Amino acid sequence: MPIRLVNVVVDAADGSALGLFWSELLGWPVAVDTPDDVDVRCPDVGELIFDLVFAPVTEAKVVNNLVHADLASNSAEHQRALGRRALDAGATPVDIGQGDVPWAVLQDPEGAEFCVLTPR
């Protein structure tokens, strides 16, 4: 039986703010919001749970792109709209040397890169 990935946990200087950003961007509800644990829940997995968990940390952070998220779009217009929605929610465009690529590369409010992909 395949193993279920239940959480992707992201260290955050401000878990509530970062969770709210991702909730707005993805259209996923904030299911838990405590000082220790902010969970943004994928609404598309039925009885199961898949959460992005924003865990507050106090350590200084080394920003890198060891792990990043790719968001799907379903049309060229959807990709553009999703990029605008990300900017409105507080993302910023970032040049990490990607060159002239058809996907958008952005940073969330704490500097983590993510991509908005071409339709699929």
Residue ranges that bind a copy of itself, judged by CB under 8 A: 1-11, 25-28, 42-44, 49, 53, 61-62, 64-72, 82, 112, 117, 120
Tokens of 46: 């039925």
Closer to a copy of itself by CB, 27 or 35: give it.
Answer: 27
Angle CA 85–86–92, to nearest 5: 135
Closer to a copy of itself by CB, 9 or 76: give it.
Answer: 9
Among 87, 26, 89, residue whose Cα is nearest residue 52: 26
Closer to a copy of itself by CB, 29 or 93: give it.
Answer: 29
Contact 66, 10 (CB under 8 A): no
Tokens of 71: 């968001």
CB of 99 to a copy of itself, least distance (A): 14
CB of 92 to a copy of itself, least distance (A): 18
Closer to a copy of itself by CB, 5 or 101: give it.
Answer: 5
Cα–Cα distance for residue pair 91/71, rounded to 1 Å: 14
CB of 38 to a copy of itself, least distance (A): 14
CB of 8 to a copy of itself, least distance (A): 6
Tokens of 79: 């990709």
Contact 48, 7 (CB under 8 A): no
